Structure 1
Amino acid sequence: MKGFLLALACACVLSAAAAQDLLPGPAPGAPLAATDFLALARRVVDAASRPAAPWNGPRKGPPAQSGKHIAVVAEDLRNGGILGVVDGVLEAAKVIGWRVRIFDSAGAADLRLKMLANALASHPDGLILAGGDARALLPALRPFAENNIPIVGWHVAARAGPVPGTPVAMNVSTDPLEVARVTALAAIVQSGGHAGVVIFTDSNFRIAQGKADEMAAVVRACSGCTLLEVRDVAISRSRELVPGTTRALLARYGPRWNCALAINDIYFDYAAPVLTQAGMPNAAMIMLSAGDGSESAFLRIRTGTFQTGTVAEPLNLHGWQLVDEMNRLFAGVGVTGYVTPVHLVTADNVAADGGDRLLYDPDNGYRDIYRQIWQRP
């Protein structure tokens, strides 16, 4: 047991990625003492809360393959994360010299295939998927592959990198499981190891279900915490469903429910007003999101309105990375596989790295670096 704890402590000092080491293995023996678990959780959370690290992504690559026409199929532009990524794509496309046409599925199942068909009919040179599930969309993606149209995506699979069994050459993302672990560990730290947790997820998406499962595992590993429920609510119907769901959870669990975790900030857009209407003090509920760092989430964190943190994606940076990965495919070069580090936004650091503009935009010079790679002024 001593050796196990020492290994965990060393790992947590090195990197926030060590959050995974706080989860017991298949046969871990005796569980960690609550004080040991909490101390290790603090180390991971502190590491993830530090200012953005210097750029550790690619610095070399092919010059701009100019004059391309790109189709972007967005899962739902009402989602702040997807909108932020699309904005980054548009910003980067202007620099590299590409035309972009956007197709919005509006979160509707019947529109996803239609928007992909419309995108194909526009005869693009490349396809960018912003949200969605690559495997579920596979029948509509095959015609792109058959026409040698390269595809990259954002949050279209449970892991970053190429998506096996699909023509998606690169799924741009932070490590979703690491994001989930840091989120759950932050809840444990902020609750002093006594979190009564409800997790909001959307089982329609593998990345969402993977995050929820990982958060649940971390909560279960905390001896003083209770996983009250995992609630499956479609993101596309969050405006409609979350208020009633929140009232039902309050009625069922009362003060036992002191922590809400979610796979996306959008759930809290509709849960927070219900808590306010119910007369709940801000300090009575901890809200933490495992993505994506929306404007409304930053506002709640800054004002102390229930939400205490979000593991924010560098949405604009991810838009630039999508363009760079696509440019590499046009040039016949493999994708970078780059995965951005996890970053936890809290009240203590919300003003840094773009927080004054209500987003997480790492101050690491990525725009200038991509311009240099593309040989663009």
Structure 2
Amino acid sequence: MRGFLLALACTWTLSVATAQGLLPVPASGAPVAAKDFLARAKRVVDAAARPAAPWNGPRNGPRAQSGKHIAVVAEDLRNGGILGVVDGVLEAARVIGWSVKIFDSAGAADLRQKMLANALASRPDGLIIAGGDVRTLLPGLRPFAEQSIPMVGWHVASRAGPVPGTPVAMNVSTDPLEVARVTALAAIAQSGGHAGVVIFTDTSFRIAQEKSDAMAAIVRACSGCTLLEVRDVAISHSQELMPRTTRALLAHYGPRWTCALAINDIYFDYAAPVLTQAGIPNAAMIMLSAGDGSEPAFLRIRTGTFQTGTVAEPLNLHGWQLVDEMNRLFAGDGVTGYVSPVHLVTADNIAVDSGDRLLYDPDNGYRDIYRRIWQRP
């Protein structure tokens, strides 16, 4: 799928024709004919929904650099994606022989720098940042850089790989724009090309802004779809904001609102109960998330409660990858730059790749491969 997407992709920040980047748009910038758009959307969605492919990541690298102490600074452990990644880090750390101390910023801006300072005071050998925006965190990261403490992160920038202009050697992530494209195209495919869409985002994070912009561009390019609104709701305040936001949107748009897209599953944790209380039938609203594949999201998909899909991150795998990237830095090697393929979870495929355990954990043997790389039993 990645090759197909890249072959069609253009720079999404320009005109509508290039912004949606996946499907042909006339030179005038007019939307694509509904039939052609829908057919191509289904091709992309079907490819993303296949079971996990065989492991295509690294198979060689340095053996375990034993006895390291790692600090993990988490943006907010209430976020299922961040929690899943931290769980993966802890699991991999036990295998490689490292100790880990976790510092939770709880989504509070005034705690981010404090948690970084506390992490530094723990005298770590390496720092893992789980969530957040690396450029916002830069003042607190400089003391780590001055002490030559290696740093890697998860979802700390809008692109996977090294983060230019920062001391973060590797941002572990799937391709955020590819995630956004698959999510929006899934909404179009599931609605038969007739979706009335509200998108939920958090503009305080660059990665969220770019994902929602990409989704909005694709919805606009669908001639039978309507982008009703892009609503900015802080993830850290979603519990208090989403119920009244959902009620306001229902009052304003009524039956025209048929699809909710979000940059994270957590928004739906608080929107779905309001829809149920309002008497909205499950079939009248579809919800799809461009990350991260939380346990409540899997439950909603499995039970048919509004949410029909999530482009789930391989959270546990990403935790193992963070540990492997850090191990390479300790050994004096470069990072791998590996980017996991995008995977769409729906009711049709939720039983595979550990979906029965309410998570996406690719059945590709990555744990055994990392153990062999590290020369650990």
| TM-score of the aligned structures, taking structure 2 as reference length | 0.95
Tell whether the 8 Å contact from 2:26 to 2:32 is kept in structure 1 after alignment: no
Match of 1:278 in 2: 278
- 1:18, 1:87 → 2: CA distance? 35
Structure 1 residue identity aligned to 2:44: V
Deviation of residue 15 (structure 1)? Answer: 3.7
Deviation of residue 65 (structure 1)? Answer: 0.3
Match of 2:44 in 1: 44
- 2:8, 2:361 → 1: CA distance? 23
Question: How many residues are aligned here?
Answer: 366
Match of 1:126 in 2: 126
Match of 1:229 in 2: 229
Identity of paired residues, percent? 84
Structure 2 residue identity aligned to 1:24: A
Tell whether the 8 Å contact from 1:135 to 1:166 is kept in structure 2 after alignment: yes
Kindly report which structure 2 residues correspond to 1:132-143, keeping only aligned pairs within 5 A, or say none: 132-143=132-143
Show CA shifts across 1:338-360 (max 9, x none): 00000000000011101010000
Kindly report which structure 2 residues correspond to 1:1-377, keeping only aligned pairs within 5 A, or say none: 15=4, 20=9, 24-25=17-18, 28-30=26-28, 31-377=31-377
- 1:207, 1:373 → 2: CA distance? 31
Deviation of residue 20 (structure 1)? Answer: 3.8
Deviation of residue 151 (structure 1)? Answer: 0.4
- 2:264, 2:95 → 1: CA distance? 30
Structure 1 SS opposite 2:367: helix
Deviation of residue 17 (structure 1)? Answer: 5.2
Structure 2 residue identity aligned to 1:187: A
Tell whether the 8 Å contact from 1:263 to 1:289 is kept in structure 2 after alignment: yes
Deviation of residue 34 (structure 1)? Answer: 1.0
Tell whether the 8 Å contact from 1:173 to 1:340 is kept in structure 2 after alignment: yes
Structure 2 residue identity aligned to 1:345: V
Deviation of residue 18 (structure 1)? Answer: 5.7
Out of 263-272 and 18-27, give the one that drifted further: 18-27
Alpha-carbon spacing, 1:56–1:335, altered in 2? closer, same or farther (3 Å): same
Structure 1 ranges of 4+ moved more than 4 A: 16-19
Show CA shifts across 1:300-320 (max 9, x none): 000000000000000000000
Structure 2 SS opposite 1:136: helix
Show CA shifts across 1:252-281 (max 9, x none): 000000000000000000000000000000
Structure 2 SS opposite 1:238: helix
- 2:127, 2:210 → 1: CA distance? 25
Tell whether the 8 Å contact from 1:300 to 1:307 is kept in structure 2 after alignment: yes
Structure 2 SS opposite 1:325: helix
- 2:323, 2:192 → 1: CA distance? 42
Show CA shifts across 1:172-222 (max 9, x none): 000000000000000000011111000000011111111000000110111
- Which structure 2 segments of 5+ residues have no match? 20-24
Structure 1 residue identity aligned to 2:18: G
Deviation of residue 33 (structure 1)? Answer: 1.2
Deviation of residue 223 (structure 1)? Answer: 0.9
- 2:8, 2:53 → 1: CA distance? 18
Deviation of residue 32 (structure 1)? Answer: 2.2
Structure 1 residue identity aligned to 2:337: G
Show CA shifts across 1:110-156 (max 9, x none): 00000000000000000000000000110110110000000000000
- Which structure 1 segments of 5+ residues have no match? 1-11
- 1:68, 1:36 → 2: CA distance? 54
Structure 1 SS opposite 2:302: helix
Tell whether the 8 Å contact from 2:286 to 2:306 is kept in structure 1 after alignment: yes
Structure 2 SS opposite 1:230: strand
- 1:214, 1:101 → 2: CA distance? 36
Alpha-carbon spacing, 1:14–1:206, altered in 2? closer, same or farther (3 Å): closer
- 1:175, 1:323 → 2: CA distance? 20
> Over the residues paired in the alignment, what is the CA RMSD in angstroms?
1.5
Match of 1:4 in 2: none
Deviation of residue 375 (structure 1)? Answer: 0.5
Deviation of residue 371 (structure 1)? Answer: 0.3
- 2:332, 2:26 → 1: CA distance? 46
Tell whether the 8 Å contact from 1:132 to 1:156 is kept in structure 2 after alignment: yes
| TM-score of the aligned structures, taking structure 1 as reference length | 0.95
Show CA shifts across 1:230-261 (max 9, x none): 00000000000000000000000000000000
Structure 1 residue identity aligned to 2:118: N
- 2:319, 2:134 → 1: CA distance? 18
Structure 2 SS opposite 1:347: coil
Show CA shifts across 1:1-21 (max 9, x none): xxxxxxxxxxx7964556746
